[in-house]
Homo-oligomer: A and B are copies of this chain.
Amino acid sequence: MLYSEQMATLSRKQREIRDREKLILDVARRLLLEKGYLGLSMDRIAEEIEYSKGTVYQHFRCKEDLLTALAIQTKLKRIELFERAVTFDGRPRERMTAIGAADEIFARRFPDYIATEEVLYVQSIACKASESNQEAMQEVDGRCVAAVCGTIRGGIEAGDLEIPPPREASEIAFGIWGMTFGSHIVGKTPTCMDQLGIKDTFTSLRRMQQAYLDGWNWRPLSHEWDYDATRDRILEEVFADERAAITI
């Protein structure tokens, strides 16, 4: 047998394995979205992909590892949108608005994000994952943070924003991040929303993000600039293909 043929055989097998891994993740994501964390079982996954349980465990060392892989997969989508957002041609605070739009598109397009991501935040699940997945998780988190912090530093360098020490760019990022993350969770809780009487979570979130940046005196302030128009431009220039996801 020729070397090239051997390679072809090997890579076909590898391709099979890779395809199966994707299949497992797809099925797992669907089950997680449909039946929640408790409804997601390794047995059911095995059944649905028509392989035995042992084979599933050859791909992921435990359930938490699988969930982490799921979260990484999703987060890569988020990063893709974020990194597109920061290419927007405009003032730093407009780019910040673009990141906000990216997050909104992301949250609307991938409602399962909440399901995968929040489980990972909440319980000590991530720490059970394989080392490689833990590192991958850290890496994608880092790229996310970098996009946000980079934009904030851009604002400082442009002279649009001052942060008196000991405050730092990361502190503003922490605020935006917590606020956004928290809103997505609280916004999915009917009890709270009933109590508050909020109808459109996303619109509220957008306003509170602007208020927050105004609070840090990041210019131009929201009353000095038409950020709704900026948003339209963002959707047109950067996220034209995703526009359908965001308009209700």
Contacts and interface: CB of A to CB of B under 8 A. Distances in A.
A11 interface: no
A172 B196 CA distance: 10
A205 B174 CA distance: 9
Contacts of A149: 196
A210 B204 contact: no
A141 B214 contact: no
Interface bin, chain A? 35 or more
Nearest to A198: B174
A51 interface: no
A208 B171 contact: yes
Nearest to A124: B36
B195 A141 contact: yes
Interface in A17-39: 36-38
Interface in A194-223: 194-198, 204-205, 207-208, 210-216
A102 interface: no
A204 B175 contact: yes
A122 interface: yes
A149 B142 CA distance: 36
A177 B182 contact: yes
A178 interface: yes
A179 B178 CA distance: 5
Interface string A144-170: 010001000000000000000001101
- 5 closest cross-chain pairs (CB), A and B: A182-B182, A215-B215, A211-B215, A175-B208, A178-B182
